[in-house]
Structure 1
Amino acid sequence: MPPPVAERGPSPDGGGTTPRRRGALLTVLATVLLLVVAGVGLVVVRPGPVAGWLGDDAEPTLEARAPEAAPVPVLALPAGTAPVPTVEGLRAALDPLVGATALGSRVNISVADVVTGQELYGRGPDDGTVPASVTKLVTGVTVLAARGSAYRIGTRAVAGAAPGEVVIVGGGDPTLAIDANGFYPGAARLDRLAEQVKQALGGTPPSKVTVDSTLYPGPVHEPGWDADIPTGGYGSAITALMTDGARRDPDAGPKGAERYRDPDLAAAQAFAKLLGVPAGTEIERGKAPTGGGEAGTAGTPAPGTELGKVESPPMIRLVDIMITNSDNVVAEALARQVALARDQPASFVGAATAMDQVATELGLPADELALADGSGLSRTNRISPSLLTDLIALAGNGTRPELAGIFGGLPVGGWSGTLDDRFATESTRAGAGVVRAKTGTLTGVHAIAGLVTTADGRLLSFAILTDRTPPTTPDATRLALDRIGAALAGCGCR
């Protein structure tokens, strides 16, 4: 099923520029990036650098593949002393490819050396361009900066104001499962929360469940989304409580899955059933009591008393899931975690404001960033290619080691995630196993950004954003993008 979306009006034009050095990104590639890039088993088979964070029952977020079964080597260790491609060499290799008809009338590119931060090739590199799902790189970096790699999102149950009432309080965990059959491996589970509640109530069955999803003030859909996104299976209503990314069926695929219209109510209904609340009892939205009241009769807990809590996998694991599977619902939840960490409303606007704030804190050129959501589904998003190459270099230069968490989930060409079936033709095979990147696709918009190792062993960051591509030739456009990545991988470009 192709990604959704109808065409919108044209974006502002951008011109070319000469290569130049971006400030404050001049450090040598740190050990943390060397480990992430070189650790094939760690990166591809089980994302996330610290196994102890995953919990006793955690499972890999990617379908496990034995490294020895790889058709190609996966990202060899970069050599810091390898020769740097020249500006002239890159122009000779890339200029003929950038003009491909399938890329449309606007192609903005930045290619930079990760070790030095030097931009080596640019075409409209500072121009804001519709990024599609490449936006998730910004979401991943900002949430790791704001929350840290080990942070977990909690879902709580508290005693309600009325006798026998239990309030389930959504904390924004999109991976929450009903039971062991959830969509996301290692997710927190409602059945375990229900057992905690039953124990806290001493066997007294609750008579009513209320859902508090007020952490997210709304709206539940971003106004810039195309009309079919809420119903097309690639997005959903964004509520503070949901199960399985709002999927009706946890066995459905990672993207085009039918979603609940009211994910918070659906999750609360499942919770009520687990608690043994009589069938047919109405589930209402409300606000959880703040606590501090007197206990009820027969030793029942005071309103607001916490009855149980479960927690999501750690943030680094959620970022892996978001990037590897390009999970839009997880992305919107993580964007709201940035908002909460920066005391902004957990809404589309609050998240965009907070991500801009964190980007500024990180020294990124935030004037080249204008976001409306965290997933990239909105056509009103604008990101420059050079901001993306700066961001990738920052995540690997060692000054902020927690940001290297974005590399664990990046798909590898011809190997995993959204690049699993790409870099497979004669003209692109040089990129298989050595291009590691996030892709983005909307109708008329195609993007790719990530890392590539040259034939001489030099590690480069690159971003290619196109937002005026022929809507009838998506396969040809992806192939044209892959040819650029393969050209970077296949030459020393000197």
Structure 2
Amino acid sequence: MGIKNGDARTGLSTAWGRLKWPLLLAAVLLCALAVVVAGMVPGVLAPKPSPSIPSWQQSPSALAGSSAVQPLDANAPMPVQADVTKLLEETLKPSGSGSITGVVLDAATGKVLFDRDAAANRIPASNMKLLTAVAALKALGPETRFTTRVLGTDDPHTVVLAGGGDVLLGGGASDPSAVLGHAGLATLAADTAASLKNAGIKGPVTVQVDDSLFSGAPLNPAWSLGDVAAGETAPLYSLALNSGRYSPTTTTGPRPQDSAVTTAQAFAEQLAAAGVEVGSGVERGKGLPAKLLASAESATVSEQVDHMLQTSDNFLAEALGRLTAAASGRKATYDGATAAVRERLGELGIASDSMELADVSGLALENQVSARQFAEVVRAITSGPDLSLRAALDGFPVAGLTGTLDDRYVDPSTAQGAGLVRAKTGTLNTVIALSGYVVDADGRLLVFSFIGNGLEPGAAGNKVAMDRSASVLAACGCRG
């Protein structure tokens, strides 16, 4: 049945009548909603007003002049000795028994600004590492690396892990960005496995270790056996994992007593993980230099020196001392290390005849060095003519921020030195030392050394006294 035109118009009109009121209602609702949204969210439907942005949040219209770290001003006024002395006499006082010697020097000229028995020999604790640092940098060079090798022997089924002085080996893959673990046993084992495979060597492989680079007694007789048992250090060998620790995250407690064998055992495990059948046990032996299977290089001497100073690592300090001895044409023994350190200090013009050196890490109570000698070493690092020593600058812990000073300079009387003082710490039972450098309020670079001996064990006031003394130097505008 067809539909007439009139019927069609009537049908459409009726349909529109049914729809127009819902549509009109929807339109009204949409308009109302738009008004609400516009009121709630400015800028959605309305013009966006100009925001009021603080000037410090706005993009600069031009580059400003630098006001950050500037070169030292050679014409900065030098502090007056009497004023510096007056300040330090008020702060540099032991808490209880004992005494504190000290010295402050102007870095540029060497002028003495404070002197309290500065020439007197004292037990320096870990400030000894400053002497080791400059000797190692001078003898070895900042960019030198130590190589750990895997060598073949006359027996194709025997490989030798040969220590080259790297005691910061890691157990995993080599990490080029790290100091501890820069060379890793997993990478060394994978490279060794590839060499064995290429040579067609199958069947059980015996792992030996060659630690002959260092000679003499592994344990220094000047050390307290109690300190060794507590893990302050350990018998020294020419290769070690984690600076003579079981784990890179473990910094206290007992250590492996034969780091060479422990490292070789860990290497054997990594070799097995790389698909090599490995025999049981590890032996000492020597490989043939011409049969190099794999090798891995350590972090640089500069990086290791900085790590040693930041963390006050006794084991690493002694290793660097032995390597300094070898580079100086001496036997790589404890005595060779102390002799080499003394020799290198002499080359820098630092008088060392009065020093008594029993080790190069500072654990030995027989060490005797003066505050003046430490200040001269710091001055050689900051301002001396041998530019290779500048590599040690980053190793000084920053007050309240890094290394062994990260938890100090929080006392209100010392807070003004936080972030400004950079110094090497030293702590034994009755000994506290602090040697470093600071730029004073007038822009003058000062070096200092404070050494306390015979102190009351555990008296917190002694560290505060030294920290406060370094802090007043940072705040000093001592021009009279």
Asked if Structure 1 and Structure 2 have the same fold, meaning a TM-score greater than 0.5 normalized by the shorter chain, the answer is yes
Q: Is the 8 A contact 2:170 2:180 kept in 1?
A: no
SS at match of 1:101: coil
Q: 2:262 aligns to what?
A: 266
Partner of 2:474: 489
Q: Is the 8 A contact 1:229 1:236 kept in 2?
A: no
Residue type of the alignment partner of 1:382:
Q
1:164-313 aligned at under 5 Å gives the runs 164-180=157-173, 184-185=179-180, 187-201=182-196, 202=198, 203-205=200-202, 207-252=205-250, 255-276=251-272, 278=277, 281-289=280-288, 291=289, 304-313=290-299
Using the alignment, how far apart are the partners of 2:362 and 2:394 within structure 1? 20
- The verdict on how the C-alpha distance between 1:181 and 1:287 changes in structure 2, with shifts beyond 3 A counting, is closer
Residue 74 of structure 1, CA deviation: 9.9
**Deviation larger for 74-83 or 386-395:** 74-83
Deviations 1:152-178 (A, max 9, x none): 011111112434111111111111112
How many residues of Structure 1 are paired with residues of Structure 2 in the alignment? 405
Alpha-carbon distance change, 347 to 357 in structure 1, aligned in 2, over 3 angstroms: same
Q: Indicate the percent of aligned positions where both proteins have the same amino acid.
A: 35
Structure 2 vs 1, CA of residues 76 and 477 (structure 1 numbering), >3 Å: closer, same or farther?
farther
Aligned to 1:451: 437
Corresponding letter in the other structure for 1:371 = L
Question: For 1:329, what is the secondary structure of its paired residue?
Answer: helix
The one-letter amino acid paired with 2:257 is: R
Larger Rg: 2
CA contact under 8 A between 1:127 and 1:368: conserved in structure 2? no
Equivalent position to 1:379, from 365, 370, 383: 365
Q: TM-score, normalised by structure 2?
A: 0.80
1:5-404 equivalences in 2 (<5 Å): 78-102=72-96, 104-180=97-173, 184-185=179-180, 187-201=182-196, 202=198, 203-205=200-202, 207-252=205-250, 255-276=251-272, 278=277, 281-289=280-288, 291=289, 304-397=290-383, 399-404=385-390
1:314 is aligned with what amino acid? T
Q: Structure 2 CA distance, aligned partners of 1:105 and 1:204?
A: 66
Deviations 1:314-347 (A, max 9, x none): 1111011101111111111111111111011111
Conserved 8 A contact 2:174-2:182: no
Q: Could you tell me which residue of structure 1 aligns to residue 417 of structure 2?
A: 431
Whether the 8 Å CA contact 1:181–1:250 is kept in 2: the answer is no
Secondary structure of the equivalent of 2:121? coil
Summarize the Cα distance change of 1:126–1:242 in structure 2 as closer, same or farther, 3 Å threshold. same
Alpha-carbon deviation of 1:258?
Answer: 3.6
CA contact (8 A) 1:76 1:434 kept: no
1:234-284 C-alpha deviation (Å, 9 max, x unpaired): 2122111211112112332xx314421211101111112222365661211
2:208 maps to a residue whose letter is T
**Inter-partner Cα distance in structure 1 for 2:139 and 2:145:** 13
Residue type matched to 1:93 in 2? L
Supply the distance in 2 between the matched residues of 1:119 and 1:472 (Cα, whole angstroms). Answer: 31
Separation (CA, whole Å) in 1 of partners of 2:68 and 2:259: 39
d(CA) in 2 for partners of 1:133 and 1:95?
Answer: 24
What displacement does 1:444 show? 0.3
Structure 1 Cα separation of the partners of residues 360 and 154 of structure 2: 36
Matched residue of 2:122: which SS?
coil
CA distance in 2, matches of 1:368, 1:76: 38
Deviates more, 1:204-213 or 1:430-439: 204-213
What SS does the aligned partner of 2:135 have? helix
Flag the structure with more relative contact order, 1 or 2, with Cα contacts below 8 A and sequence separation at least 6. Answer: 1
TM-score, length-normalised on structure 1? 0.78
Secondary structure (helix, strand or coil) at the match of 1:96 reads: helix
Question: What is the Cα deviation at residue 406 of structure 1?
Answer: 1.1
For the residue of structure 2 that corresponds to 1:441, the secondary structure is: strand
Task: Give, in angstroms, the shift of residue 229 of structure 1.
Answer: 2.1
How far apart, CA to CA, are the structure 1 residues paired with 2:181 and 2:278? 29
CA RMSD between the two structures: 2.1
Separation of aligned partners in 1, 2:429 and 2:145: 35
Residue 492 of structure 1 and its aligned partner are, at CA, apart by: 2.1
Q: Shift of residue 96 of structure 1?
A: 2.4
SS at match of 1:461: strand
Which stretch shifts more, 156-165 or 403-412? 156-165
Matched residue SS, 1:320: helix
Q: In structure 1, give the amino acid aligned to 2:77.
A: P
The AA in structure 2 aligned to 1:78 is L
Q: Bigger shift: 124-133 or 194-203? A: 194-203
Per-residue displacement from partner, 1:112-171 (whole Å, max 9, x unpaired)? 000111122111212221111111111111101111110001111111243411111111
Q: Distance in 2 between matches of 1:215 and 1:185?
A: 20
Distance 2:264 2:68 in 1: 43
**Gap change, CA 1:140 and 1:445, over 3 Å in 2:** same
Q: C-alpha separation between the residues in 1 aligned to 2:230 and 2:433?
A: 21
Q: Which runs of 5+ in 1 are unaligned?
A: 1-72, 292-303
Identify the match of residue 480 of structure 1 among 458, 465, 468.
465
Cross-structure match for 1:465: 451
Residues 378-422 of structure 1 show CA distances to partners (whole Å, capped at 9, x for unaligned) of 111121111111111122225111101111111111111111121
Residue identity opposite 2:89 in structure 1: D
